[in-house]
Amino acid sequence: MTRLLVFVFAAILSCDQTSPQPPPMESSLEPPLGMLGSVRRPATRYAMVRTGERCQVTIEWEAGLAERLPKDHACPKDLALGERILLSGATCIRAGETPARNVPVVCPDPLTNAERDQRQKASADAMAPDAGN
């Protein structure tokens, strides 16, 4: 019985004590905005454009320059004439004149392969020894 009274008394006393306040949530979840890098669209975009029976893959640079890759590819079945699929970062979006059709789509292999090949080429160029020295 004494143990029960001690337990009840300890429980009553602990109810009157206030627990320390936890730190504010916003301070521990994210770094300050100044520490975050700027969020920008990638400088290079890859596009597959339907120009007829076949599709062309082009590379568009931030400066407005574009390079058409020499090989034409089979077009995705749902890509209409004049529409294109844009690969920007890790996302592919169908783009055309009809706003309802401008939706994310599965990236076609020729488009992702073109990006991969350009990255490998840029990496190899950066690793190559300088011929002038």
User: Which residues are 35's β-sheet partners?
Assistant: none
Instruction: Please check whether residue 29 lies inside any domain of the structure.
Output: no
Could you tell me if residue 31 is inside a domain?
Answer: no
Residue 27 DSSP symbol: H
- pLDDT (tens digit per residue) in 37-96: 665 666 788 999 998 899 999 988 777 778 888 889 999 999 999 899 999 778 899 999
3-state secondary structure of 85: strand
Confidence of residue 131 (pLDDT cuts 50, 70, 90): very low
Count the domains in the chain: 1
The DSSP bridge partners found for residue 74 are 54
Is residue 86 within 8 Å of 112, Cβ to Cβ? no
Residue 103 structural domain: 44-126
13: which 2 tokens?
Answer: 């006393």
Is residue 110 within 8 Å of residue 50, measured between CB atoms? Answer: no
Residue in the block written with tokens 């574009």: 66
Is 9 part of a structural domain of the chain? Answer: no
